[in-house]
Amino acid sequence: MNPGVPAHLTVLGHDARDWGVVAVFAVVYLGMFLGGLPKLKLDRSGVALLGAIAVIAITGQPIDEAARTVDLPTIVLLFAFMVVSAQMRLGGFYGAVTRGVGALPLSRNGLMAALIVVAGALSAVFSNDVICLAMTPVVARLCLQRRLDPVPFLIGLACAANIGSAATLIGNPQNMLIGSVLQLHFGDYLRQALPPVAVSLGLLWAWLAWGPGHAATPAALPPVPPDNVDDEPAYDRVQTIKGLAVAVTLLLIFLFSGWPRDVAALVGAGVLLLSRRLHSAHVMGFVDWPLLLLFIGLFVVNHAFEATGLSGQAVAWGAAQGLHLADPGPLLVAGVGLSNLVSNVPAVMLLLPHLKGGNAGVELALVTTFAGNLLLVGSIANLIVVDLARQSGIAIDWRRHALTGIPVTLGTLAVVWGWMRWAG
């Protein structure tokens, strides 16, 4: 309770300012659930930003104090790897790799396996959303050229990108946040996360190769799109080598040195921005600024909500009922439920303050990432694939996605459950 607040403005031990923060928090997370607010031209980032402004106004905290609630290493690491991913995309690397896989003399199931492995491996380093953005048009064209049903391949691409991104602490935004806040060691996390990720990619392939409808061929396929429909940059060997050199160097630094990841990544981004061929404004245009604003806004809102003490009371009440977030079962349920309600980044922000220890961090990263495959709207990567597929004349609705997403998610979560119980 804030000092100096009249007693008649105090309800259940919390003053009016606390309840004002709670109201803003509720509206912000309603926006996370809906993807925006009704009747307003606001997306999730806009909602988070306005929520941060509102809690600063309600609490009267100085701007510099609000700024200190932002985990700057996470923001810096996220920005730096957006620059690295932009370098690889502008060098035409992702499209070239996908076309190279498509040129191999593989059967349908062999091609499916190769694309799943490539998407999963690339997503572990260069972010799942970027991989889906670059690979989807190429995979769609490849399937149509071979007269294969493209839908299983495209759903497999989205699921593989989500699963693969959980293998490292740089594969997606929520993993970067978990690694930064809990100070997880990059190599230790990789050793714990890689086995369930590898098994889960295998389960995904098995379902797509042998599950219901694996041999179905649609009555009619759309025409093959022209080669330049995706505006993918032409392959540039020099720029690709430059980007790969920085990415590999950063991975080695993360694995074998104690240099802070955010500082090393920022230096790597600086090296890439020093270019005689790629204008810095062009590269920076591929940075997802709204996502960075989403993080900043949620840091401020969540910190204000934590200060009310209500979240701590809720966790304590759950512990009194035998539901401890440190236990694998409750954490799995909470991670899956919140990820599908408000998206995985906000879910992680809500759960992180109540977790301790590396095992809990590993489980949270795996669960919240794998949960993105459950529903079509559960992951930005899924929506990217659907939107780009539509541009190629390929329709993927929620029912078609659910035929793969639900069983694959349940199977992969079972893998995580078993692995954490065995490894713990």
306 has a pLDDT exceeding 50:
yes
- Pair of tokens at residue 61: 């905290």
Of 10-19, 94-103, 355-364, the one with minimum mean pLDDT is 10-19
The residue that leads in pLDDT, 394 or 222, is 394
Q: Would 198 be classed as within a structural domain?
A: yes
Confidence label for 216 from pLDDT (cuts 50, 70 and 90): low
Q: Provide the CA 48 distance to its chain's centre, in angstroms.
A: 17
Residue 399: count of CB within 10 angstroms of its CB? 8
In percent, how much of the chain has pLDDT > 70? Answer: 92
Q: How many domains does the chain have?
A: 1
Q: Is residue 2 included in any domain, yes or no?
A: no
pLDDT over threshold 50, residue 1: no
Whether pLDDT at 230 is above 70: no
Domain hosting 278: range is 7-423
Evaluate if residue 11 carries a pLDDT over 60.
Answer: no
Establish if 1 belongs to a structural domain.
Answer: no
With contact defined as beta carbons under 8 Å apart, do 200 and 57 qualify? Answer: no
Length in residues, the chain: 424
Q: Mean pLDDT throughout 284-290?
A: 88
pLDDT band at 34 (very low <50, low <70, confident <90, very high): confident
Residues 112-129: tens digit of each pLDDT: 999 999 999 999 999 888
Q: How far is the C-alpha of 285 from the C-alpha of 90, rounded, in Å?
A: 11
Is residue 339 in some structural domain? yes
Residue 255, domain member (yes or no): yes
Question: Residue 228 pLDDT > 60, yes or no?
Answer: no
pLDDT digit string (tens) for 203-212?
999 999 988 7
CB 379 within 8 A of CB 347: no
Q: What is the mean pLDDT of the chain?
A: 87
